Structure 1
Amino acid sequence: MARSKGFDPDRVLDSAMHTFWKQGYAATSAQDLCEATGIGRSSLYGTFESKHGLYMRSLQRYAESGTAGLRELVETDGPVRERVRRMLDSIVDEEASQPGLGCFVVNAQIERAPTDPEVASVVRRGRAEVVDALVRTLRAAQADGEIAADKDPEVLADFVHAQIGAIRLLGRSQAERATMEHVVEVAVGAL
């Protein structure tokens, strides 16, 4: 008979995710992970195989949740500028509520993606999903006359997504909320 794990893997992933998010991959030791999750090293590695395996599962969990949330905000009903504003405002709210923490995916993109193909893949996939949702939304808005016919929805989607990254970096650097809100104003105005 197989022995059941004495812990909830989802709770462990959440705890590990917050540790990696706050400290980064390189600065997080196995001991940090054991303390954060409340489980021993053998259980941690027995379930997640390695520090990198735990990091990747944590990053994927965060990315999937964040991407789904952004897509949901932009794919709702209503005028396109309001939907894009809601999406960007939600990012400003997140960054203002956790000064200096930034976004786990953006942090991973900076720290790990240049040398870790698995991290780069998660980053690319998340970006593609959000940009695709924006392109579809902007094309529909253009067909409805909300966006000028001479504007390229793909270029606008890339621009809006770049502003997401800009707001995330501003939040990481503890910029004032007003500065992040200025980015939102210009981005929405560009539509």
Structure 2
Amino acid sequence: MPRPREFDETEALEGAMNAFWARGYEATSTEELCAATGLGRSSIYNTFSSKHELFRRALGHYTERGVRQRSAVVGRAPDGLGALRLLLTATIDDELGHHRRGCLVVNTIAEFGTSDPEVSAQVRVDTEAHLSELAHVARTGQADGSVTRDRDAGEIADFIHSTISGLRVMSRRGAERAALNGVAEIAIAAVARR
């Protein structure tokens, strides 16, 4: 009879996610992963099979968490433009509250590029889902009159997604809140209905 696991896998993924998020894939050692997850080396490999698989699972944990957080933010908005504004504000608050770690997905793109097909596919799925969500918010804003109809909702989604990624990179380089807020305000002005 197999022995039951004596740890919380979600907590282990959270710890691994934070380790990879802080240092990147290559720079995170097995010892650091053991410390971050509370697991021994053999438990990590027995449960996740490899550092690469643990990374992919941690990245999945990060993206699932992001979906929940974005949905909660959008749900508080009075209209489509308000939802976009809240998403940008939440990005800035998250960056300044998390020691300027950037976005694990953006960091992963910067580290891996397209060199790892499995990671690239995972990033592509998350990016497409995020863009779909942003396009829905843009269409909602166009319908309620708060977002410009001069641009396609998909183009607006690409623009806001790029702005969010840019804010994350700006934060990593040490930009202050005023600079981050300035970029967010320019983005909102660009998509607001005039």
Query: TM-score per shorter chain, which class?
Result: over 0.9
Aligned residue pairs: how many? Answer: 191
Match of 1:53 in 2: 53
Residues 1-191 of structure 1 mapped to structure 2, 5 A cutoff: 1-74=1-74, 77-191=77-191
Q: Could you list the runs of 5+ residues in structure 1 that have no partner in the other structure?
A: none
Judging changes above 3 Å, is the alpha-carbon distance between structure 1 residues 46 and 141 closer, same or farther for their aligned structure 2 residues? same
| One-letter code aligned to 1:80 | G
Structure 1 residue ranges (4+ consecutive) displaced by more than 4 angstroms after TM superposition: none
CA distance in 2, matches of 1:172, 1:117: 26
- Amino acid of the residue matched to residue 87 of structure 2? M
- Cα deviations by residue, 1:60-79 (Å, 9 ceiling, x for unpaired): 10011113322443355522
**Which one-letter code corresponds to 1:138 in the other structure?**
A
TM-score (norm 2): 0.91
SS at match of 2:21: helix
CA 1:77–1:32: 2 relative to 1, 3 Å? closer
Backbone CA RMSD of aligned residues: 1.6
Change (3 A) 1:100 1:137: closer
Determine what percentage of the aligned residue pairs are the same residue: 39
**Are the aligned partners of 1:19 and 1:36 in contact in 2 as well (CA < 8 Å)?**
yes
CA distance in 1, matches of 2:178, 2:159: 20
Deviation at 1:127? 1.6
The unaligned stretches of length 5 or more in structure 2 are: none
1:10, distance to aligned residue in structure 2 (A): 1.3
Work out whether residues 113 and 119 of structure 1, in 8 Å CA contact, stay in contact via their aligned partners in 2. no
TM-score by length of 1: 0.92
CA apart distance, 1:144: 3.2
The CA distance in 2 between the partners of 1:57 and 1:113, in whole Å, is 18
